[in-house]
A and B are shown apart, each in its own frame.
Chain A
Amino acid sequence: MVFFDNMGLMALTPGMVFMWLIGLTLVYLAITKQYEPLLLLPIGFGIVITNLPLTYLMEPGEGLIWRFYHYGIEWEIIPPLIFLGLGALTDFGSLLAQPRLIFLGAAAQVGVYVTFFIAYTMGFSLQEAATIGIIGGADGPTTIFLASKLAPQLLGACAVAAYSYMALVPMIMPPIMKLLTTDTERKIRMKKGRKVSSREKLFFPLIAAMVIILLVPASAPLIAMFMLGNLFRESKVVERLNEVSQNALMNIVTIFLGLSVGATMNADVFLRKEVIFIFFLGLFAFMISTASGILLAKFMNLFTQNKINPLVGAAGVSAVPMAARVVQKVGAEADKKNYLLMFAMGPNIAGVIGTVIAAGIFISILK
């Protein structure tokens, strides 16, 4: 009977069933553990439905989710729109008050490049190695942006690795932070930063956009939208645009982003040994990024009277604001009255900018 021949059940493969388990695990983690639920829930669902046979949801030119993917991600629409929302949500005050902390955001990119190099020596192409390395920046939209340009075949695996490790920040970072710092260092209380004027905050997105794009033009799509969102926020004259950027628009594009990324992970593409390497290398990148931020903070302390609590360096990875919250938590374990959150937000935001610059450099050299 034709009906039976066209049943999806007849085309089911063990690989598809395995992918359902992965997708359902992400859905489970999103719902019960609340690990990055805004992303992992649609990604997990996307994985499940794309691995239902004969749906053709990702069929080029035809499938519904392929259209989301093609016009949203391949056309570079969604990651910049996410950055617009992030810019509208970001208060640069902590960074402007203590600009020296910007270098901790740069140090955290060391993990990106070390992992890039290792991935290349393991046999990945330069473009693939760059896409794997950027996971260490712990920035989902940037990872997706870079993958779509350099190695679209790795997009799903790299995006899921990035978001998974971002969700696991409270578990991955504290052991590294404790290993690399002494109890005395964790108790360092930092001096409060100066007051930042509203005019300074208003000028910053304009200046930052021009400076960064002049240096790394390939970072323009993300940096321009990031700073535009922040200009909406700081100008205080377009409250409607500010509000819609950080809420409605960001929520809408998040749906399409999560679903599209999940749908790229069909069994044929995902169930390969390279994907296991990607997950290990991504974790390695993330750990090195955390460590390098801490180590630079310790190094800076050799030359300054106004000491930096080295824990703050760990926030250089750009998982905003989770990494900064973890710094606060680990710092409070050593000294309950030590409030590190506002200091950690500086390198945390610098980490976002640093990761975008790193991605821009990869694109300008490798594309």
Chain B
Amino acid sequence: MQAALEVFVNGISGVFIGLAVLYAAIKINKLLNGQEVAKKEE
């Protein structure tokens, strides 16, 4: 049971952390490559 709980906690937190880091990466990507270019393309 303890092993299952460990997987459960690690799994849910791992998915949220993984996607939170990806969220941060998207924001950085926007800062570096987003705004100016989007304006030009418009």
Which residues of A come within 8 Å of B, CB atoms? Answer: 95-96, 99-100, 102-103, 105-106, 109-110, 112-113, 116-117, 120-121, 126, 129-130, 194-200, 202-204, 207-208, 211-212, 215-216, 350, 353-354, 357-358, 361-362, 365-366
Q: Which residues on B sit within 8 Å (CB–CB) of A362? A: 7, 11
Smallest distance from the beta carbon of B31 to chain A beta carbons, Å?
A: 10
Residue of A nearest to B19 (CB): A106
Select which of B12, B19, B25 is within 8 A of A350 by beta carbon.
B19
Binding site for A on B (CB under 8 A): 1, 3-8, 10-12, 14-23, 25-30, 32-35, 37-38, 41-42
Chain A CB count within 10 A is highest, among B6, B11, B17, for: B11
| Chain A, Cβ-Cβ closest to B40 | A197
A200: which B residues are within 8 A, CB to CB? 29-30, 33-34, 37-38
Closest beta carbon of chain B to A93's beta carbon, Å: 11
Across the interface, name the chain A residue whose C-beta is closest to B13: A361
Nearest residue, chain B, Cβ from A198: B41
Task: Find out whether the CB atom of A196 lies under 8 angstroms from the CB atom of B34.
Answer: yes
Q: Looking at the assembled complex, report how far the CB atom of B20 sits from the nearest CB atom of chain A, in whole angstroms.
A: 8
Residue ID in chain A nearest B3 by CB atoms: A126
Q: Are B22 and A102 in contact (CB under 8 A)?
A: yes
- Chain B residues lying within 8 Å of A361, measured Cβ to Cβ, are 7, 10-11, 14-15
Contact yes or no, B34 A100, CB < 8 A: no
Which residues in A have their C-beta under 8 angstroms from that of B26? 95-96, 99, 102, 204
Could you give 17 example pairs across A and B, Cβ below 8 Å? A99-B26, A99-B27, A103-B19, A112-B11, A113-B12, A116-B11, A117-B4, A117-B8, A126-B3, A129-B4, A130-B7, A200-B38, A204-B26, A207-B28, A208-B22, A212-B22, A354-B19
Q: Is the interface of B mostly helix, strand, loop or mixed?
A: helix
Determine the chain B residues whose CB is within 8 A of the CB of A109 once the complex forms. 11-12, 15
Q: Which residues of B contact A120 (CB under 8 A)?
A: 1, 4
Residues of B near A358 (CB, < 8 A) are 11, 14-15
- Which chain A residues border B14 with CB–CB below 8 Å? 215-216, 357-358, 361
Given contacts A103-B19, A106-B15, A126-B4, contact A365 B37 (CB under 8 A): no
- Minimum CB–CB distance from B29 to chain A (whole Å) comes to 5
Task: With A103-B23, A126-B3 as known contacts, state yes or no: A357 contacts B37, CB within 8 Å.
Answer: no
Distance A110 CA – B9 CA, assembled complex (angstroms): 10
Are A212 and B41 touching (Cβ within 8 A)? Answer: no
Q: Shortest Cβ distance from A63 into chain B, in angstroms?
A: 35
The docked-state distance in angstroms from the alpha carbon of A106 to that of B13 is: 10
A116-B8, A117-B4, A197-B38 are contacts. A207–B19 as well, Cβ < 8 Å? no
Distance (Å) between the CB of A308 and the closest chain B CB?
Answer: 15
Query: Nearest-CB distance from A207 to chain B (Å)?
Result: 5
The residues of A that contact B32 with a CB separation of less than 8 Å are: 203
A350 to B25, CA, bound (A): 14
- Min Cβ gap B35→A in Å is 8
Distance of B42 from chain A, by nearest CB (Å): 6
- Closest approach, in angstroms, between the C-beta of A246 and any C-beta of chain B? 23
